[in-house]
Amino acid sequence: MKRCLFFAALALAVPGFAQTLKMELVPNPAGADSLQAAWSVTREGNPLLSWIETLKDGSYTLRYSIRRGAQWSEPRTVVAHRKFFRHPAELPEVITLSDGGFLAHWVEMPMEGSETEFLYVSASRDGEHWTAPVFPLKAADFIKRGVPQGPALGAALHEAEAAWIAADFPADREAIAAIAAAAVAEVRPM
């Protein structure tokens, strides 16, 4: 009997404390063909949506937007023309840090059919200017290609890094090999 009275009192009390759930559709800034959306929250508590978009050449772009009040910010690009590894457990993501800066991370698979994966991290203080990924060529790569140690080696590294930056930091082996070969040809005239 006590149990029945308790449930009766509970049934009468709950509607007085219950909240009405109101669902409202809110358009997001990601395009219709966007993939792998990831949510996080800024230090101010604003929703941050990051996603990837497929480009015409088959590569991908990591973008994000922050919702402030009733408006999304203009979408910003973190990196473009990349070969993201697309897997539900390894989403590219943009998050904010406690100092107000941003951190983005993503996984790339440079060659189809390979099990090699590269993890990239990029940071930004303002959300517009991002640090570059790590330059993939080292002095040993040029020494193997016949460039002697000394000024020629330094010149080859400088040429290759400038070309890599100008090409928007490619990660695939073919592009990196072509950059290295062009740098070697530049410092070792025939």
| Longest CA–CA separation in the chain, Å | 100
pLDDT at 42 over 50: yes
The average pLDDT across 156-161 equals 87
Q: Looking at the domain assignment, is residue 19 inside a domain?
A: no
CA 10 to the chain's CA centroid: 49
- Residue 42 amino acid letter: T
- What does the pLDDT read at residue 116? 64
Instruction: Answer yes or no: are the C-beta atoms of 83 and 65 closer than 8 Å.
Output: no
Domain that holds residue 145: 135-190
CA 168 to the chain's CA centroid: 14
The reply to whether 64 and 111 lie within a common domain is: yes
CA distance 58 to 73: 26
Domain count, the chain: 2
Q: Looking at the domain assignment, is residue 4 inside a domain?
A: no
The reply to whether 84 and 153 lie within a common domain is: no
Q: pLDDT tens, 87-134?
A: 766 788 999 988 889 999 888 876 666 666 777 888 999 999 998 877
The reply to whether 152 and 173 lie within a common domain is: yes
The reply to whether 128 and 139 lie within a common domain is: no
Find the CATH number of the domain harbouring 90.
Answer: 2.115.10.20
Query: Which of 132, 160, 177 is a domain's end point?
Result: 132
Q: Looking at the domain assignment, is residue 3 inside a domain?
A: no
